[in-house]
Structure 1
Amino acid sequence: MTDNIKVGWNLENTYTSLPDIMFTAINVNPVSNPKLVILNEELATSLGLDSNALKSRQSVEKLAGNRALEGGIPLAQAYAGHQFGHFTMLGDGRALLLGEQITPSGELFDIQLKGSGRTPYSRGGDGRAGLGPMLREYIISESMHALGIPTTRSLAVVTTGEDIMRETVGPGAVMTRIAASHLRVGTFQFAAKWGTIEDLKALADYAIERHYPILMDNENRYLLLLQEVIEHQAVLIAKWQLVGFIHGVMNTDNMTISGETIDYGPCAFMDIYNPKTVFSSIDSHGRYAYENQPNIAAWNLARLAESLLPLIHEDQEEAVKQAQEAMATYPEKYETYWLTGMGNKLGIFNIEKADISLIENLLQLMDKYEADYTNTFRALTLSKLEETALYGKEDFNQWHEKWQARLEKQDVSKDFIQRLMQKSNPVVIPRNHRVEEALEAAVVKEDYSVLENFLKVISRPYDYNSDYMEYTSLPPDTLGEYKTFCGT
């Protein structure tokens, strides 16, 4: 059915069908001297775009926001959000939705420019973005994709020829972000707070048609929508925890209805296992620490449930009851996905209740001996225990004996167990010091070779046949405590 779709931009503008309160149509904000610095050619092909054509001067102008895409209607989306627990009116303060690309397979993806200039939602900001944060999002989002974690992706980064001031003065940039949609929990909070019931219903129907169309004809579709988002977020957060990813700013405007990871600001991957790990410079109280992410997701989902109450049932008491019953499923769903994933990481394919203590004991040992999270599981996969901080410790030896006894209970070969572990334990992650190394070379020295090599490595995180050892090492102690910044 999609054979006749042309190569190139093939845009829909379905978001404009929503009530006017949900967005503001605006013109693009030109920059002085756009230059393409990185293009995701594999992603471009999957979107039905010609990589060579995207490198042309005219296309770069479009990726910079100097020209609108043919067939697109640029707009900034309105939404709200609980930011560190405090509710506020928000919106696309430095982003433009250009339209939705119809891919050769018939899928629909948002095409958004990030760092494209002021909008009515900029709240006094300049609407621009720095090159470092945009390349950072490119690196991390592509790594998440390679790890098999639902995520928005980056098509391109274009420098603007203009400097911007953040922590320091640096080159400005615009990133082209691709998403199943940019619908957020905060989008529903906005409609519930400032829109009418009809506005909220229109938004919910749009979300269902876009992401869960099988629900559209069901009379309980709004409750089912909540249940689907709960399910997808339980899957997503479990996947985050399994690879040691810390989002850093899990505000309700940064949780999608589609179940994709979005908004890579002060995010990072954990090196030494510590459940209280926080990287974000603005998270002074550890609200979004690694160990808190599953519970924060539940908190955010509760805000979605509150927003949907008028649609779930006309009787508020009954609506609350149904929403609470839906929310009550989240902890078990999350735990099931996390336990299954942790079992896979340890070569256990039929997780049992008794395995919970085995898993928790390993994590406690990793915390006690300051073991690297990723490298510990890699060493267990390869039976190279000497490469972990746990090696030679008596309590770890006791744990290892119990683990081996558990594996022997499974009626499968050792090869099967190792293959399961290799598929579940990445060899490499985007180590923070490696990310900074790539960013410094690109931003300060205009040398993109370090970034390009790094992207090749992290695009194959489960490849145990490649020699990536230099990318598995921890940062030198001289680097000190690692901190990340929003870049806004």
Structure 2
Amino acid sequence: MPLPLDHTLDNSYAALPPAFYTRLMPTPLPAPYLVAVSDQAAELIGLNAAQAAEGLEVWIGNAVPQGATPLAAVYSGHQFGVWAGQLGDGRAILLGDVTTAAGPMELQWKGAGQTPYSRMGDGRAVLRSSIREFLCSEAMAALGIPTSRALALTGSDHGVMRETVETAAVVVRMAPSFVRFGSFEHWYYRKQPEQLKILADYVLARFFPALLEQEQPYAALLQEVTERTARLMAQWQSVGFMHGVMNTDNMSILGLTLDYGPFGFMESFDPGHICNHTDQHGRYSYANQPEIGHWNCYALGQALMPLIDDVALAQAALDRYQPVFGAEMERLLHAKLGLSQLPEQAEADRSLFDAMFGVMEANAVDFTLFFRHLSQLKRGDASGDSAVRDLFIDREAFDRWAAQYRARLQHEAADDGQRAAAMNRVNPKYVLRNYLAQVAIEKAQNKDFSEIHRLLSVLRHPYDEQPEHAAYAALPPDWASHLEVSCSS
């Protein structure tokens, strides 16, 4: 019986010199079962839902499509700001890539067994963290934020030791490329400029061919990646998403959200919130994400210096980060508040935004619900204020800010209905809150996968009202405050 993707997989990365990877097969898992498939992700590589559902043995790594050349890539990186040396795909194995109308799409097993880069790890992923990655990958795509995708989630009762014994799982994830900032750092710190150039030329030719026409293509590459990263950080901030482990080995050269581990969506607004229990010093807090994104671009710039060979050129590329981030953040905040970007209101708007975040922080207001309910506020009176006002402990503080907001709305041509519709197109009602994922995880651990399927369906339409699923947009229950995620998540 033919397997999904038989004879359709290429592997451009395998054409690089052998030092870039190790070819190996995934390690089979006993008694596999299918947890979930994303039919939307499957469509991206030409598979229909039925074909995707029949791919269990491939998705868990027990069978390999004909023509595939599986490999684990080597890379290095800075972890929590400290040079960690060689890392690599410790529990990920690249199947290969599929040519699509939108360009190449690589497929990768996560959790398919040990590789030469596993260090002290077992090369496995657990069901708990795999459910989180599967759901959040697809949820972020539905939010319109650049991300890797999740094709399939499979499981096995094979035991995996973390803090306790858990069961194994494999996520098949997809991206045009899994090359990271740390892929370049690896060759820089090993003082191998020839390999560094091979990698840079590969990325340029495959993903940024227009940059090859420029006088300084490697500086142009650094600028392109810097700008993509800046826009991604603004998009994360705008929906309250926190990555949790923004190490350079987790940063995509294409500006994608990559490697979902201890992530979280902001609930009670606190700029200093740390979603990763392992991050004891708060390096990757919500407020720090933009700065860390910039820091990571500097790490990439350092790695590319043997190719750029001009500090001023590299600095000019990196200097694009702040203006691009600032412009994107301004654009997104105006959209979230239903405002036009009027030059004569620029200073007043910044004051409005600062006051908004200040009153949100002081009242620990739910991030997602605040922006969603704000669309109900009326320009001329307080009749639509109750839903958003009731999120505040200090309602008079909200009233003072709301008066400032109403005054600003007087400069807008759109009426209340038009503004509300526009705001609801950019302010999601549904995000993957930790407690929603936890409920799905606990059911799945008892072989009930219905909540995963339900959540996937809801999160695919985050901007729609979906009144039948309104409970998924509610404030988190009290028990959710005790949930913690860490680097083992």
The yes-or-no answer on 1:243 pairing with 2:243 is no
Q: How far apart are residue 9 of structure 1 and its match?
A: 5.7
Task: Provide the residue aligned with 2:149 in structure 1.
Answer: 153
Task: Provide the residue aligned with 1:316 in structure 2.
Answer: none
Aligned equivalents of 1:115 and 1:340: distance in 2?
39
Q: How far apart are residue 34 of structure 1 and its match?
A: 1.9
Does the CA-based 8 Å contact 1:130-1:164 persist in structure 2?
A: yes
Distance 1:9 1:265, change over 3 A: farther
1:320 aligned partner, one-letter code:
V
Does the CA-based 8 Å contact 1:22-1:191 persist in structure 2?
A: no
Q: How far apart are residue 482 of structure 1 and its match?
A: 3.1
Q: Which of 112, 115, 132 pairs up with 1:116?
A: 112
The yes-or-no answer on 1:76 pairing with 2:76 is no
Aligned equivalents of 1:219 and 1:473: distance in 2?
54
Task: Provide the residue aligned with 2:331 in structure 1.
Answer: 340
Task: Provide the residue aligned with 1:397 in structure 2.
Answer: 399
Q: How far apart are residue 135 of structure 1 and its match?
A: 0.9
The yes-or-no answer on 1:90 pairing with 2:87 is yes
SS at match of 1:62: helix
Aligned equivalents of 1:465 and 1:92: distance in 2?
39
Q: How far apart are residue 63 of structure 1 and its match?
A: 1.5
Does the CA-based 8 Å contact 1:112-1:178 persist in structure 2?
A: yes
TM-score (norm 1): 0.93
1:463 aligned partner, one-letter code:
D
SS at match of 1:112: strand
Does the CA-based 8 Å contact 2:363-2:394 persist in structure 1?
A: no
Task: Provide the residue aligned with 2:380 in structure 1.
Answer: none
The yes-or-no answer on 1:11 pairing with 2:9 is yes
Does the CA-based 8 Å contact 1:8-1:49 persist in structure 2?
A: no
SS at match of 1:175: strand
The yes-or-no answer on 1:349 pairing with 2:340 is yes
Does the CA-based 8 Å contact 1:428-1:468 persist in structure 2?
A: no
Task: Provide the residue aligned with 2:33 in structure 1.
Answer: 35
Does the CA-based 8 Å contact 1:79-1:91 persist in structure 2?
A: yes
Deviates more, 1:42-51 or 1:263-272: 42-51
**1:176-235 Cα distance to aligned partner (Å, 9 max, x none):** 010121010000101212252221111011111222121123231111101110111111
Aligned equivalents of 1:395 and 1:414: distance in 2?
23
Task: Provide the residue aligned with 1:183 in structure 2.
Answer: 179
1:131 aligned partner, one-letter code:
L
Task: Provide the residue aligned with 2:312 in structure 1.
Answer: 321
Q: Which of 285, 304, 315 pairs up with 1:289?
A: 285
The yes-or-no answer on 1:203 pairing with 2:199 is yes
The yes-or-no answer on 1:410 pairing with 2:445 is no
2:435 aligned partner, one-letter code:
H
Does the CA-based 8 Å contact 1:156-1:175 persist in structure 2?
A: yes
Task: Provide the residue aligned with 1:470 in structure 2.
Answer: 471
Distance 1:478 1:42, change over 3 A: closer
Q: How far apart are residue 300 of structure 1 and its match?
A: 0.3
Task: Provide the residue aligned with 2:321 in structure 1.
Answer: 330
1:385 aligned partner, one-letter code:
D
Does the CA-based 8 Å contact 2:6-2:65 persist in structure 1?
A: no
SS at match of 2:167: strand
TM-score (norm 2): 0.93
Q: What's the RMSD between the two structures over aligned residues?
A: 1.7
**1:47-93 Cα distance to aligned partner (Å, 9 max, x none):** 1124323333xx32221112222211110000001001111210000
**1:253-278 Cα distance to aligned partner (Å, 9 max, x none):** 01101111001000011110000111
1:345 aligned partner, one-letter code:
K
Aligned equivalents of 2:335 and 2:306: distance in 1?
41
Does the CA-based 8 Å contact 2:136-2:260 persist in structure 1?
A: yes
1:306 aligned partner, one-letter code:
Q
Aligned equivalents of 2:63 and 2:27: distance in 1?
8
Q: How far apart are residue 392 of structure 1 and its match?
A: 6.4
Deviates more, 1:207-216 or 1:337-346: 207-216
Does the CA-based 8 Å contact 1:35-1:161 persist in structure 2?
A: no
Task: Provide the residue aligned with 2:387 in structure 1.
Answer: 387
* Structure 1 gap segments, 5+ residues each: 1-5, 314-318
Q: Which of 41, 52, 55 pairs up with 2:53?
A: 55
Aligned equivalents of 1:449 and 1:345: distance in 2?
33
Distance 1:353 1:207, change over 3 A: farther
2:16 aligned partner, one-letter code:
L
Does the CA-based 8 Å contact 1:130-1:487 persist in structure 2?
A: no
- Aligned 1:221-236 pairs, distance under 5 A: 221-236=217-232
Q: Percent identity?
A: 39
Task: Provide the residue aligned with 2:462 in structure 1.
Answer: 461
Aligned equivalents of 1:473 and 1:62: distance in 2?
38
Distance 1:99 1:473, change over 3 A: same
SS at match of 1:12: coil
Deviates more, 1:226-235 or 1:406-415: 406-415
Deviates more, 1:38-47 or 1:391-400: 391-400
Q: Which of 154, 161, 164 pairs up with 1:165?
A: 161
SS at match of 1:198: helix
SS at match of 1:278: coil
SS at match of 1:11: coil
Does the CA-based 8 Å contact 1:7-1:50 persist in structure 2?
A: no
Aligned equivalents of 2:394 and 2:31: distance in 1?
58
1:231 aligned partner, one-letter code:
E
* Structure 2 gap segments, 5+ residues each: 378-383
**1:87-128 Cα distance to aligned partner (Å, 9 max, x none):** 12100001100101112x152011100000010001021101
1:67 aligned partner, one-letter code:
A
Aligned equivalents of 1:149 and 1:409: distance in 2?
30
Aligned equivalents of 2:161 and 2:121: distance in 1?
11
SS at match of 2:347: coil
SS at match of 1:353: helix
Q: How far apart are residue 475 of structure 1 and its match?
A: 2.0
SS at match of 1:91: coil
Q: How far apart are residue 481 of structure 1 and its match?
A: 3.6
Task: Provide the residue aligned with 2:452 in structure 1.
Answer: 451
Aligned equivalents of 1:325 and 1:20: distance in 2?
34
Distance 1:335 1:482, change over 3 A: farther
1:416 aligned partner, one-letter code:
Q
Task: Provide the residue aligned with 1:480 in structure 2.
Answer: 481
2:488 aligned partner, one-letter code:
G
Count of residue correspondences: 474
2:371 aligned partner, one-letter code:
F
1:240 aligned partner, one-letter code:
W
Task: Provide the residue aligned with 2:360 in structure 1.
Answer: 366
Q: How far apart are residue 7 of structure 1 and its match?
A: 7.9
Task: Provide the residue aligned with 1:3 in structure 2.
Answer: none
